[in-house]
A and B are shown apart, each in its own frame.
Chain A
Amino acid sequence: MLMNIVHYLISIWVPLVCAVIIVAVLPLVAGYIVLMERKVMADMQARLGPMRVGPHGLLQPIADALKLLIKEDIIPDEADKAIFWVAPLISVTAGMLAMSALAIGPWFQIADLNVGLLFVVGIGALGIFGIVLGGWASNSHYSLLGALRSAAQLVSYETAAGMAIVGALLLAGTLSTREIIQAQDDYGVWFIFAAPVGFFIYVVASIAETNRAPFDLPEAESELVAGYMTEYSGFRWALYFLAEYTNMVVVASIATTLFLGGWLRPFAGMPIFNFLDFFPTLLMLFVGAYCFYRAPKQPVKVQKMFMVAVGLGIFLVGAILAAPLAPSVNSMLPGLKPGLHGAFWFLLKVGLYIYLFMWLRFTFPRYRFDQLMRLGWQFLIPLSIVNVMGIGVALVLHRQWGWSHWTAFPLTTIATLAVAGWLGWADDKSEKEHPMVGET
Chain B
Amino acid sequence: MMLDQIVFYFFATLAVISAVLVVTRRNIVQSAIFLITALLATAGIFLQLHAEFLFIVQVILYAGGIMVLFVFVIMLINLDLSLHQVQFNRQWWLGLLLSLVLGAQLTVAIAVGRSGLPMGEPAPATMLEPSTQLVGKVLFTEYMLPFEVASILLLVAMIGAVVMAKKKV
Contact = CB atoms under 8 A, between A and B. Distances in A.
A168 interface: no
Interface of A: 1, 4-5, 8, 80, 83, 113-115, 118-119, 121-123, 125-126, 128-129, 132-133, 136, 144, 147-148, 151-152, 154-155, 158, 175, 434
A225 to B, nearest CB: 18
Interface stretch (B15-23, B58-66, B141-149): B58-66
Interface residues of B, number: 28
B64 A125 contact: yes
Contacts of A133: 29, 33, 71
A121 B64 CA distance: 10
A208 to B, nearest CB: 15
Interface string B66-90: 0111011001100000000000000
B60 A122 contact: yes
Contact of B30 (A4, A83, A119, A128): A83
B29 A118 contact: no
B138 interface: no
A177 to B, nearest CB: 13
B75 A121 contact: no
A115 B29 contact: no
B105 interface: no
22 contacts: A4-B2, A80-B27, A80-B29, A114-B132, A118-B53, A118-B56, A118-B57, A123-B59, A126-B59, A126-B64, A128-B64, A132-B68, A132-B72, A133-B29, A136-B29, A136-B75, A152-B72, A154-B68, A155-B65, A155-B69, A158-B64, A434-B169
Contacts of B130: 114
A161 to B, nearest CB: 12
A237 B76 CA distance: 25
A115 B71 contact: no
A122 B59 CA distance: 6
Given A115-B131, A155-B72, 14 more contacts: A1-B2, A114-B130, A114-B132, A118-B57, A121-B60, A122-B64, A125-B64, A129-B68, A132-B68, A133-B71, A136-B29, A136-B75, A148-B72, A158-B64
A140 B30 CA distance: 18
A83 B53 CA distance: 30
Contacts of B29: 80, 83, 133, 136
Given A83-B30, A133-B33, A118 B75 contact: no
B72 A4 contact: no
A118 B136 CA distance: 14
B169 to A, nearest CB: 8
Sorted nearest first, the 7 A-B pairs with minimum C-beta distance are: A122-B60, A114-B130, A125-B64, A118-B56, A122-B59, A115-B52, A115-B56
